[in-house]
Structure 1
Amino acid sequence: MTQTVTPSELSKSQTTKTKPLYRLPVRFYGYQLLTLALLAVLFTWISRDETFDRWITGFWYDAALHRFPLQQNPLLDLLNHRLAKYLAIALAVSALIYGVVCRHARWVTTALLVGLGTLVVGTLKSISHHSCPWDLVEYGGKAVSWPLFGHPPADSGPGRCFPGGHASSGFMLMGLFFGFWRERPRLAWGCVALGVAMGLIMGFGQVMRGAHFFSHNLWAGWWVWFSQVVAYGLISAWFAKE
């Protein structure tokens, strides 16, 4: 006996096979952009004169030795600077492989968003004139520090230290939100929490070594999430089936 396949069932079968993108509600973008705007104001206030940053960094700087004792610490370098970064990258690559093999457009997009976050931060870092703490005069170096939105002095040093590049390797996991939100929204928000936690932990490891100020890492997380939200909105608006 021949079984009749209705158009709706055929459409469902094709959707299951190709796993297309879906749009997020407009209110999601409104809430996120408002939150990002408020965080930008807060982070700017924290970064305005580096008082808060210097207070935190002071706990890890030995004024008598004129250096950061943990700068070359092998255990901190192994656990925080290498293994944590490799784990984050492995998760992103796994998402990409899964998306390609299963023809899952949303997971391919998710993997690209994860990489986009670190690319944006890396680009901003590469053109920054802000030097790392261990390069500054106050911490045994030769470079001069200056306010976030100030004019860089002639002796600003090697620069390339803002935002925090290493922290972005943890924050980029927030992008996994876009892979899970459709079927498992709680898990999706759990991925955002995981990314924030990883970014802060990995970033603080760099603070302990004298490689970054704490606000550098906060801005890294801001730029990662901002780029991911905006990029998914644009991509899904163009390619989404619903």
Structure 2
Amino acid sequence: MSPRQSFYLTHLGLPLLLALVVFVAFDLTGLDRWFSQLFIDSASGQFTLLHDAWFEKVTHKWPRILPNWTGEAALIGALLSFVWPLFARHPQAAATRLLQRSRIAGVLRFTTRHRCDLLFVVVAFALCTAIIHYLKSHTGVYCPVETTFYGGTHPRLEWYQQFDLLHKAGDGRCWPGGHASSGFTLMALYFVARRWRWAHARKLLGFIVLLGMVYGTTRVMQGWHYMSHTFWAGIFVWLTCLPTALCFYGRTALQAPLKAPLELPAIPLHANAMPASLRPE
């Protein structure tokens, strides 16, 4: 198998296979409702954590800080990346010399060096948000607590039952999971790590996937989403970040072997094991 085939099999084939599995296992069965039933109060028939203000704050409002600040930092950094080249054209100017003596110069040089990465994160975040909002409005799926199954007024419909490519399908805005997708958008950082061949890129991806799953599952516990909505959010975010990263970096850069982690030299346990030049006199 060629490197190109291997790359697309791993980065595109596996997500598409996962999409098929989620569709068959969740969308065509009652597995979603089975998961949701785990969080229902048997006495009231309602989701136990639906109106828990503390749980809402800790699992929904506070976690948004991480992806929001990441996107804002990338946007600010991308704008700053155009500042240093303006000063660099005039190295003898008083303003340039003053800037070079400050710590700000290091920040500006950093943003300039990583301009492509910062722009990629900004574009990837924007496209992921746009795709998720498009799918929400063009499928019109209502959240579990809004359906007649759990005391709501709307029927439960699957996304494929009323998907409309060009027009809004209805007032529902529940598929795929929006809160989960905000965590999954951090997948853009994985592609930056791959581009720089960071040794811990896969661990970073694993953490982001876990984070997105936690974001989504907490909303399932409150009745605002089904479990499959979380999986779909991750799939669509990945399928948005991947072509965006290919446009910015190219497949070869993303497929380059990761650098081995730095290893510190072992410290001898006995002074006799030290090189003569390092032994105390």
Question: TM-score, length-normalised on structure 2?
Answer: 0.68
Structure 1 residues 172 and 70, CA, compared in 2 at 3 Å: closer, same or farther? same
> 2:141 aligns to what SS in structure 1?
coil
Q: Distance in 2 between matches of 1:173 and 1:132?
A: 24
- Residue number in structure 1 paired with 2:233: 220
> 1:127 aligns to what SS in structure 2?
helix
Structure 1 residues 148 and 182, CA, compared in 2 at 3 Å: closer, same or farther? closer
Q: Distance in 2 between matches of 1:60 and 1:157?
A: 27
- Residue number in structure 2 paired with 1:42: 21
CA deviation after TM superposition for structure 1 residue 204, in Å: 0.6
- Larger-gyration structure (1/2): 2
- Once the two structures are overlaid, the 10-residue window that deviates more, 25-34 or 216-225, is 25-34
> 1:78 aligns to what SS in structure 2?
helix
| Structure 1, unpaired ranges of 5+ | 1-24
- Residue number in structure 1 paired with 2:142: 131
CA deviation after TM superposition for structure 1 residue 88, in Å: 1.8
Structure 1 residues 121 and 174, CA, compared in 2 at 3 Å: closer, same or farther? same
- Residue number in structure 1 paired with 2:184: 171
| Structure 2, unpaired ranges of 5+ | 81-110, 164-168, 254-281
CA deviation after TM superposition for structure 1 residue 50, in Å: 4.4
- Once the two structures are overlaid, the 10-residue window that deviates more, 197-206 or 100-109, is 100-109
User: Which consecutive segments of 4 or more residues in structure 1 shift more than 6 A?
Assistant: none
CA root-mean-square deviation: 2.3
Letter matched to residue 58 of structure 1: Q
Say whether 1:110 aligns with 2:114: no
- Count of paired positions: 211
Q: Distance in 1 between matches of 2:131 and 2:181?
A: 9
CA deviation after TM superposition for structure 1 residue 40, in Å: 1.2
Q: Identify which of 141, 155, 165 aligns with 1:144.
A: 155
- Residue number in structure 1 paired with 2:86: none
Q: Deviations over 1:192-229 (max 9, x none)?
A: 21221111101011001100000001000000000010
- Residue number in structure 2 paired with 1:29: 8
Q: Distance in 1 between matches of 2:121 and 2:187?
A: 10
Contact 2:187 2:205 (C-alpha < 8 Å) held by counterparts: yes
Q: Deviations over 1:137-175 (max 9, x none)?
A: 1111121113443358xxx98421100011101001111
Q: Distance in 2 between matches of 1:50 and 1:217?
A: 16
Letter matched to residue 164 of structure 1: G
Contact 2:137 2:171 (C-alpha < 8 Å) held by counterparts: no
Q: Deviations over 1:72-113 (max 9, x none)?
A: 211211111111111221123223333443222123212321
State the percentage of identical aligned residues.
30
Q: Distance in 1 between matches of 2:42 and 2:146?
A: 14
